[in-house]
Copies of this chain bind each other. A is one copy, B any other.
């Protein structure tokens, strides 16, 4: 209660122990977001602010304040960050980080994981029609763009892959729902897990495959 910031006394008519005025809270959020290269959650900001502050509201104020400016307050999953405006990239030649060029396999695998998450390796292979090399997934994990998700509660309990907040951050996406064309793909049924016809009929020695197919049946993408 008593750890209110020392410097808000000038024009604060608020009682001594109340939360700082919203303008002051906005300054705090501004300072924290500027100081961090990684997105910050509202909770982590709130934990550093004096009691009674509303970090979520302060972020909204701040976001509006930076509309149209050279830097922007952007949402990244559950967190917030400040990033330079996309149209000013040409000024930042010195800051460009050269990244290893991704192989076509890696790019496709990444897209499949992002759009189909959580998705098993078998499913990725079925979509691409080829086996996924270990190196491809390793590379994406190393880039911190994908991570292991929950295991499927199906025979074999296969591990799944999901996209990370860093992936969202890298591609400037607020959430996985904002993936380009997601709604159209879903409407066209292209994100459905459609089992090959007759999968259930192939009974005898094919226990494993059947299990995988059923996974697809029951897990809504």
Please report A residues at the B interface, Cβ cutoff 8 Å: 1-2, 4-7, 26-32, 34-37, 47-49, 68-71, 82, 84-85, 87-88, 90-95
Contacts and interface: CB of A to CB of B under 8 A. Distances in A.
A19 to B, nearest CB: 15
Contacts of A31: 70-71, 84-85, 88, 91-92
A70 B5 contact: no
Contact of A87 (B7, B70, B88): B7
Given A32-B92, A35-B84, 11 more contacts: A5-B87, A27-B85, A27-B88, A28-B91, A30-B69, A30-B70, A31-B70, A31-B71, A34-B71, A34-B82, A35-B92
Give the copy number.
2
A69 to B, nearest CB: 6
Which applies to chain A's interface (DSSP): helix, strand, loop or mixed? Answer: helix
Contacts of A30: 69-71
A94 B29 CA distance: 14
Residue among A31, A71, A85 having the largest count of chain B Cβ atoms under 10 Å:
A31
Given A31-B70, A48-B94, A87 B37 contact: no
